[in-house]
Chain A
Amino acid sequence: MTKERPAAARLSGIRKAFGAVAAVDGADLLVHAGEVHGVLGENGAGKTTLLSILGGSLRPDAGEIRIGNAAVDLRSPRHAWDRGVGMVHQHFTLVPRLTVLENLTLGFRDAARGWRLPLDDVRVRAEELMGRTGLSVPFDSLTENLDVGERQRIEILKALLRNPSILILDEPTAVLMPGEIERLFALVRDLTDRGVAVVLVAHKLDEVLSVSDRVTVMREGRSILTAPVAEVERRALTRAMVGREPEPFSRPPAPSHGKTVAELRGARMLGRHGEWALDDVTLSIQAGEILGVAGVQGNGQRELAMALSGVRTPDGGSAMLPSGVGFITQDRSREGLIPDFDLVENMALALHRRAELRRGLLLDWRGIRDRTAAAVTRYQVRTPGASTAARALSGGNQQRLVVAREVAEATDLLVAENPTRGLDVAAAAFVHEELKRLVRGDGDTGMAAVVLISTDLDEVLALSHRIVVLVRGRILAVPEQARTKEGLGSLMLSVDHATA
């Protein structure tokens, strides 16, 4: 519908491996000036890796990068900016203990290199930009005191300050409310009208389709297809992303109501900065149900998980917990297992508490080894052996091990915190099946309850029998008619009403 625009950037035959695992292998990307280019793909498809290469924060093992018409070697983010590429990362790149203005200034370089801190210049420019884009940020606040939405705006402002000709936005909507997403997309449109190329990375199809001119789909490190949005069918995109027909959405059957396995009464938990991160939460969980907890990250999910798993006792109120609690933490490599320990020792993290695996002070390592071998077989953990260090396993296989261990612990309750984050499709499906199996209570386990704390609304909607939303540490029940993404989104947004 438009005439062919000039190429802003072209990546061809890109390969990037971490250790023996190729995150990107044989990926191409052509971005035109003045277009919104959506990059779609499941978690782990290699989107972030590919765009980080264009953003200069990763260097490819093979392949060519052209910006405009020149082949370039992007050695650092600064190299990329000098060539007009700005990137807003998925994980924030702000320094918490600097002010907003200092963060905007960081790395903002003009002629006066080094000595003079151009705070005033940056302030003037940023104010001008704020007026033009409608992004507003408090300049003199400490960044650590701001919420995720504000930080996102700072990131975008920081990138725009350098007048990029190519702007990469990596999963910008993950932390935003529906209303904020619309404002962001309006801004994106405004930028492309000025001739800027915007690359939008996302794994949510609808969002990408609503704003993009063209899309590229990635799967398993390769670019599968590139097409104008107007010319491609939605089903074809989904198939390209997943590699097969998508499963039909199914509402889980209502559970046969079981006994209450866990209960919080007026529970309060202090957050990291002394605030009530969990505030007067009363919640009871029945055997046989998956209770979904939705919410924007940082609204008390961490503390709720700590309270329900028994890792921390509430600072106020009470928690009644069963004896058999499993906990799948979202931070697998830091909290879920010890990378330097082998699989047996990682299993022992939970098993060492069991009386039947102790002989006085001594641990029954033979017993623990047998159980590890059984778990490895049953959960299909791909590993050279049980005495391999956990760090040698892929993320998916690490998660299988953690799930195996925690499901075995969860005779009564399993707390699962973003259990599929960062997993490939197969591994995620496996985790979902385990959660369902646990509440069905078939096989060797009794009927347990699952609390699924997740920022992925699709996951919460697909699995949960009952859903609650966490907003600023408080629990909101979700009425039947609000069981949609939009409904949950507006409840998650209801922060003002909750605190007013």
Chain B
Amino acid sequence: MIELAALATFLEASVRLGVPLGLAAIGETVTERSGVINIGLEGSIIAGALAGALGALAFGSAGAGVVVGAGGGLVVALVFAVFAVGLGTDQIITGTAVTLGGLGFTGAVYQARFGVTGTALSLPTLPVMEIPLLSRIPLVGHALFAQAPTAYFAYLAAPAAWYFLFRTEWGLELRAVGEEPSAAAAAGVRVRWTRIWAALFGGAMAGVAGAHLALAHAGTFSENMSAGRGFIAIAVVVLGRWNPVLVFLAALFFGAASAAQFFLQTLGLDLPYQLFLTLPYLLTLAALAGWVGKSRAPAALARPWPPAEG
């Protein structure tokens, strides 16, 4: 019975840790389908976390914090989009810079506001909402349906993003932009605007993910608390083959990888904690190595539009 309880805890933690990854990855899926790879996702997440924390403090409500967090992620993505899409700068380098800038600025704002020592910040947190009946499903019910509202948002966002991409005219245009921008342009689609909107959506989703980290997980903000989730989310998009629903499932799997730490510890396996921390990254690397050959990225991913001259 102890094992069963441990398993339930593990599953709950898997979902809890998988949700922010999933939120960011769903957004990035839409961004990448438009031919833009946003390595600055990490910057959007950390900005979402800080904005979420500040918003929750200012309005005294975690829900308001999530909205402000989405805005924070969006603003960072706007910087990325203006450079990478508007000016046509290299997406990889721009994204890296945006991540560095996001981490630097949030750190600076946090230090300026709360002091270098980082007096433990206590925030209003997102309540756990139990869904009647569904949360009673044995084993997985509690894990899936006794979560913060942001988790339910993610459950809805995955199929909604799928529907948008594959069943709407805008989705078709967005995919065309990501595959063959010249063809999309010839068909009258505004390539840059499409890409900018897609990047902004990705940023807002990453902002929600960051707000979830601060307001559902920790109830506090700390510098660099995004801890590389933006990069894992980008890998998760590859693993989920650019399909929002599969991407979300892959994110839950990586939530499980992060949660394995707690699970194995309750089983009495006492591996050092730093080694556990490497686990999600190593698993992502292994999965990429074993998986990538089978999937094809959007053909125009990371290619600037209009194409570089010459």
Contact = CB atoms under 8 A, between A and B. Distances in A.
A binds B: yes
Contacts of A117: 167-169, 171-172
Nearest to A339: B310
Give the 8 A-B CB pairs with smallest separation, nearest first: A78-B188, A107-B187, A339-B310, A93-B186, A391-B310, A95-B180, A93-B183, A107-B188
Contact of B173 (A93, A94, A107): A107
Interface in B254-310: 296, 299, 309-310
A113 interface: yes
A339 B309 CA distance: 9
Contacts, number: 75
A96 interface: yes
Contact of B189 (A107, A333, A339): A107
B310 A333 contact: yes
Interface string B186-197: 111110000000
A98 B182 contact: no
B139 interface: no
Nearest to A94: B183
A113 B169 CA distance: 8
A336 interface: no
Interface residues of A, number: 30
Contacts of A89: 186
Contact of A81 (B167, B171, B188, B299): B188
B184 interface: yes
Given A93-B182, A95-B175, 14 more contacts: A77-B188, A93-B186, A95-B180, A95-B184, A97-B299, A98-B175, A98-B176, A105-B169, A106-B176, A107-B189, A115-B168, A117-B171, A340-B310, A391-B310
Interface in B233-257: none
Interface of B: 167-173, 175-176, 179-180, 182-190, 296, 299, 309-310
A105 B170 CA distance: 11
A105 B180 contact: no
Given A94-B180, A97-B299, A105 B172 contact: yes
B309 A391 contact: yes
Interface string A65-106: 000000000001110010000000101111111100010011
Nearest to A391: B310
Nearest to A79: B188
Contacts of B309: 339, 391
Contacts of B176: 95, 98, 106
A97 B173 CA distance: 13
Given A76-B188, A106-B176, A333-B310, A95 B183 contact: yes
B77 to A, nearest CB: 22
B294 to A, nearest CB: 14
A50 to B, nearest CB: 17
A226 interface: no
A333 B296 CA distance: 26
Contacts of B175: 95, 98
Contacts of B167: 117
Nearest to A105: B172
Contacts of A95: 175-176, 179-180, 183-184
Contacts of A109: 169, 188
A289 B182 CA distance: 41
Given A96-B299, A340-B310, A114 B183 contact: no
A57 interface: yes
B186 A77 contact: yes
Interface in A447-495: none
A365 B259 CA distance: 59
B180 to A, nearest CB: 4
B310 A92 contact: no
A116 interface: yes
B185 A77 contact: yes
Contacts of A112: 169
Contacts of A118: 169
A93 B310 contact: no
Contacts of B190: 76
21 contacts: A77-B186, A77-B187, A81-B188, A93-B186, A94-B183, A95-B176, A95-B179, A96-B179, A96-B180, A97-B179, A98-B176, A98-B179, A105-B172, A107-B188, A107-B189, A114-B170, A117-B168, A117-B171, A333-B310, A391-B309, A391-B310
A339 B182 CA distance: 21
Nearest to B164: A115
Nearest to A389: B310
B180 A102 contact: no
Nearest to B310: A339
B177 to A, nearest CB: 9
Nearest to A89: B186
A106 B186 CA distance: 10
A53 B182 CA distance: 16
Given A77-B188, A340-B310, A102 B172 contact: yes
Contacts of B180: 93-96
